[in-house]
Amino acid sequence: MRKFLRLLGISQSECIHCQSPAMGDLFLCKECIQDIKPFHPIEYTPIPYVFSYRVFGKYEGVLKSILQQIKFSNNPFLARWLGEAIKDHLWEFIEQTNPDIITFPELNLRRFWTRGFNQIEEILKGAGVPYQRVFKRVGFDPPMARLDKKKRIKASQTHTLREEWIEVLEGKKVLIVDDVLTTGGTISRLCELLLSVGAEQTHAFFLTKEF
Per CB under 5 A, residues contacting Zn ion are: 15, 17-18, 20, 29, 32
Choose among 162, 29, 40, 43: nearest CA to 101.
162
15 vs 191, which CB is nearer to Zn ion? 15
35 vs 100, which CB is nearer to Zn ion? 35
Cβ pair 121, 104 in contact under 8 A: yes
75 vs 118, which CB is nearer to Zn ion? 75
Tally the C-alpha atoms within 13 A of residue 24's C-alpha that lie toward its C-beta. Answer: 4
* Phi, psi dihedrals of residue 47, rounded to the nearest 5°: -115, 125
Report the nearest approach of Zn ion to the CB of residue 8 (Å). Answer: 22
Report the 10 Å Cβ neighbour count for 113. 9
Report the nearest approach of Zn ion to the CB of residue 162 (Å). Answer: 40
30 vs 136, which CB is nearer to Zn ion? 30
Report the nearest approach of Zn ion to the CB of residue 196 (Å). Answer: 44
CA separation, residue 200 to residues 32, 99, 134, 162, 184 (Å): 40, 10, 15, 18, 20
Report the nearest approach of Zn ion to the CB of residue 23 (Å). Answer: 9
